Amino acid sequence: MLLSDLKIEYPELPVVEHREEFFELLEKHQVIIVKADTGSGKSTQLPKFLLEWFVGKTRDDSSVILSEEPSGSKSKDPVKFKIGVTEPRRLAAISIADRLCEELKDEEFVSTKIRFWEQGTNEAPIKVMTDGILLQEFRKDRLFSRRPNFKLIVASATLDAKLFEEFYDNSCVMEAEGRTYPVDVEYYFSDTRTGGALQTRDERGFGRDISGKGDSGLIEEARDAILDLETQHRDHLLCFLPTERDIQDLMGELAHELDAATFDVLPLYGRMSPDEQRRIFKHTGKTRVVLATNIAETSLTIPGIAYVVDTGMARISRYNAQARIQGLPVEEISKASARQRTGRAGRVKPGVCIRLYSPENFEKRDEFTECCNSAVSDLNSKTSRSCSRLRIRRSAALTRRCLNWVRSPLIILAVT
């Protein structure tokens, strides 16, 4: 297929309104930090922006061909640019690649690579991958980020844009609003639901178990909230739980409460295979109740979700600088993460989010997920050592810092 024949169409999404602004910034700056709210379309539309921009640069060159022509003659010249899109989660990478293939109407434009799984060809101009694959690419090409036409786009709904802009030379910030439907946020067993006084977790006598070994009180609360919502009006639901064990325990509880002929109770966590994770997207005619870790928090739209139950807990990567040990303790999520979870209920229609903690507890939480329990200097020291081993300098250093400081950034690398 001739690259010059490509015609890119865009859906009506908020970030699309900033397309011309993005092109102007791309001409002037090497790094663009995109702060765009949930529902803006940044994950799928920014790669298309870059594709259109590069195609415009090469449109006069008719020898740029993406694949072999029907006549059997191969391309005279390989694709002269590459766009790399990274996501921290495998499922998010796969779903974004599928969506890009659907919108571009040609699977040859997009390839996907995650650990132990790859789809598409090396000639595809867009490559969607996980962060680990990105680091492997840096190992193969240690001068990658020094190329004159290298571009970096960092996008998230929760990043500290000023921090990134100060870190990078020749950088700028572009902001875009989100598009979500109204979501009613309710705190478990508030006046509007039971006619009684607001009950916090402490008042109900349940404590938190941050050891990661499960919390029966948390499971009972999540079960009651799910049954409460589904009893009032049956609709698709997403429940956030901190651990895989919590998911399995809650599935056991719901098996006795929800009719299997009417409901599909589906788990979603990182250790599942891509095929198992994709079950959440399949339409079976039943109401889906998805029990997920924070894998479903960002860059993922599960079709039809109207309800979200947020336990307010998650496994969060922490580095102990003194012991030099990376851990995944169960901790309270930040305000930014809580808002991200709420937004999962308003992607395609109005919804309800029930938080299993009090408003006072929410207000006391950190605005963003902290990078680490130890001092920032300890993290910087660890990052420097890691990047030194990989022989990656400034660009990769910030990429590693992004993955710790931001819950789920979209990193897009473009080079000619």
Instruction: Report the distance separating Cα 365 and Cα 374, nearest Å.
Output: 18
In this structure, which CATH number among 1.20.140.10, 3.40.50.300, 3.40.50.11810, 3.40.50.11740 belongs to the domain 3-178+376-415? Answer: 3.40.50.300
DSSP strand pairing (287-292 vs 313-315): unpaired
Task: Give percent of the chain with pLDDT exceeding 90.
Answer: 46
pLDDT at 179 exceeding the cut of 90: no
Evaluate whether 3-178+376-415 and 183-364 have a shared fold. yes
> E-strand spans in 88-196?
110-114, 117-119, 126-130, 151-156, 171-176, 183-187
Least confident residue range of 67-76, 142-151, 309-318: 67-76
Helix 394-405 × helix 376-390 angle, to 10°:
130
- Paired strand residues for 151: 414
Segment 32-58 mean pLDDT: 90
pLDDT tens per residue, range 332-370: 999 989 998 998 998 888 999 999 999 999 999 998 776
pLDDT tens per residue, range 200-231: 433 443 333 333 334 558 999 999 999 999 99
Instruction: Report the distance separating Cα 327 and Cα 240, nearest Å.
Output: 20
Query: Which pLDDT band holds residue 80 (cuts at 50, 70, 90)?
Result: confident
Terminus-to-terminus CA distance in the chain, angstroms? 19
pLDDT at 411 exceeding the cut of 70: no
Segment 400-412 mean pLDDT: 48
* Rounded (10°) CA dihedral 53, 55, 57, 59: -150
Does residue 285 come out as left (phi exceeding 0), alpha (psi in the -120 to 50 range) or beta? left
Give the per-residue pLDDT at 158: 77
Give the per-residue pLDDT at 144: 65
pLDDT at 240 exceeding the cut of 90: yes
Give residue limits of the domains in the chain. 3-178+376-415, 183-364
Q: Residue 228: which H helix or E strand, with range?
A: helix 216-232
Name which of 276, 56, 34 is nearest 159 in CA terms. 34
Position with higher pLDDT, 323 vs 255: 255
Give the per-residue pLDDT at 308: 97
Give the per-residue pLDDT at 389: 38
pLDDT tens per residue, range 265-312: 999 998 898 889 989 998 899 999 999 999 998 778 888 999 999 999
Give the per-residue pLDDT at 255: 95
Instruction: Report the distance separating Cα 36 and Cα 340, nearest Å.
Output: 12
Query: Which pLDDT band holds residue 261 (cuts at 50, 70, 90)?
Result: very high
Which residues have CB under 8 Å from 360's CB, separation 6+?
A: 200
> E-strand spans in 177-216?
183-187
Give the per-residue pLDDT at 408: 45
Give the per-residue pLDDT at 195: 44
| CA atoms within 13 Å, Cβ hemisphere of 223 | 19
Tell me the average pLDDT of the chain.
Answer: 79
DSSP strand pairing (305-310 vs 263-268): unpaired
| CA atoms within 13 Å, Cβ hemisphere of 48 | 27
Instruction: Report the distance separating Cα 104 and Cα 394, nearest Å.
Output: 33
Residue 207 identity (one-letter amino acid): G
Segment 74-86 mean pLDDT: 69
Least confident residue range of 19-23, 141-145, 331-335: 141-145
Name which of 315, 318, 275 is nearest 295 in CA terms. 315
Fold held by 183-364: Rossmann fold (3.40.50)
Task: Give percent of the chain with pLDDT exceeding 70.
Answer: 75
Give the per-residue pLDDT at 38: 82
Which two structure tokens, joined as six digits, stand for 31?
A: 């790094």
